[in-house]
Chain A
Amino acid sequence: MKKKVLLMGASGSGKTSMRSLIFSNNPASSTARLGATIDVEQNHVRFLGDLILNLWDCGGQDAFMDSYLTTQRSTIFQHVGVMIYVFDAETGQMNKDLEYYRDCLDGLTHYSPEAAVFLLVHKMDLVQEPKTTMFEKKREVLQKATGDVTITVFGTSIYDESLYRAWSSIVHTLIPNAAVLNKHLNIVAAACSATEVILFERTTFLVIATSTSSTSSPFSSSTSSSTSISSPTYTSSSPSASDPHQMHPKRYERTSELIKAFKWSCSRVREEFHSLEMDMYDFTAVLDEMTRNTYVMVVVHDPTIETAAIKLNIRMARKKFEELQGDSIGA
Chain B
Amino acid sequence: MMSHNYQTDLNGVSRTKILLLGLRRSGKTSIQKVLFNAMTPKETFYLDATMRIVKHTYDTIIPLEIWDCPGNITVETLGVPLSVFSTLIFVIDIRDLYNQPISRLVEFIIAAYHHNPSLHLEIFVHKAEKLQEDEKIENYRQINERVVDRLMDVSPSFPNIPNSSSSLNTPSSSGTQMNNPNRLSYLNWQDFIEQQLLMNFHLTSIHDHSLHQAFSKVLQRLTDSLPYLEELLNIYCANSQASKVFLFDAPSRLYVASDASPVDTATYNLCCDNLAMINAFGMGLYRSACASPVRRRRGNPESSYPPNRETSTLPATPPPSASSVNGESLPSVSPPLSPSIPPTPSRKSTGTFGRSKSSMDTSNSSVSPSTVSPATPSSSTALAHTSTLSTVTMTKTPHVPSDARARAPSTSRKIRIQTGQDLFYPCGATSLQPSSLPPSYSFLSSSAGISVPGTTIVWHLVTTGETSLIEEVSSASTSTSDKNSRNISSSTFLSAPSFTTYNNPTLMLLVLLPTAVWESRRGLVELNVIAVREGVQEIVDLEREGRATKVVGGVPALTLQSSRR
Contact = CB atoms under 8 A, between A and B. Distances in A.
B269 A245 contact: no
Nearest to B303: A281
B298 A281 contact: yes
B86 to A, nearest CB: 32
Contacts of B158: none
A331 B427 CA distance: 35
Interface residues of A, number: 47
B51 interface: no
Nearest to A252: B285
Q: Which of A266, A280, A283 has the most CB of B within 10 A?
A: A280
Given A230-B43, A276-B430, A330 B286 contact: no
A285 interface: yes
Contacts of A262: 273-274, 277, 430
B286 A251 contact: yes
Given A281-B424, A281-B426, A329-B444, A267 B435 contact: yes
A276 B282 contact: no
A280 B297 CA distance: 11
A202 interface: yes
Given A258-B281, A272-B432, A276-B428, A247 B286 contact: yes
Contacts of B440: 289, 292, 329-330
B315 to A, nearest CB: 23
A277 B444 contact: no
B79 interface: no
A271 B424 contact: no
Residue among B269, B428, B442 with the most chain A CB within 10 A? B428
Nearest to A159: B42
A302 B291 CA distance: 8
B141 interface: no
Given A245-B290, A303-B292, A271 B432 contact: yes
B454 A254 contact: no
Interface string B286-329: 11111110111111000000000000000000000000000000
Contact of B288 (A247, A261, A267, A270): A247
A254 B285 contact: yes
A295 to B, nearest CB: 11
Given A247-B285, A276-B431, A303-B294, A268 B266 contact: yes
B284 A282 contact: yes
A258 B277 contact: yes
Contact of A271 (B290, B299, B438, B455): B455
Contact of A280 (B269, B281, B292, B429): B281
Interface residues of B, number: 50
B122 to A, nearest CB: 27
A301 B278 CA distance: 17
B42 A229 contact: yes
B287 A278 contact: no
A194 to B, nearest CB: 11
B476 interface: no
Nearest to B43: A230
Interface of A: 159, 195-196, 202, 229-230, 244-248, 251, 254-255, 258-259, 261-262, 265-283, 285, 289, 292, 299, 301-303, 329-331
Interface of B: 40, 42-43, 266-267, 269-270, 273-274, 277-278, 280-282, 284-292, 294-299, 424, 426-440, 442-444, 454-455
17 contacts: A159-B42, A195-B286, A229-B42, A255-B281, A255-B285, A268-B266, A272-B434, A273-B430, A276-B430, A276-B431, A278-B428, A280-B282, A281-B295, A301-B292, A301-B295, A329-B440, A329-B444
Given A244-B290, A245-B291, 8 more contacts: A202-B439, A247-B287, A247-B289, A265-B270, A271-B433, A280-B426, A282-B286, A301-B292
A-B pairs, top 10 by smallest CB distance, nearest first, are A265-B273, A278-B428, A245-B288, A244-B290, A301-B291, A282-B287, A283-B286, A271-B432, A246-B289, A276-B430
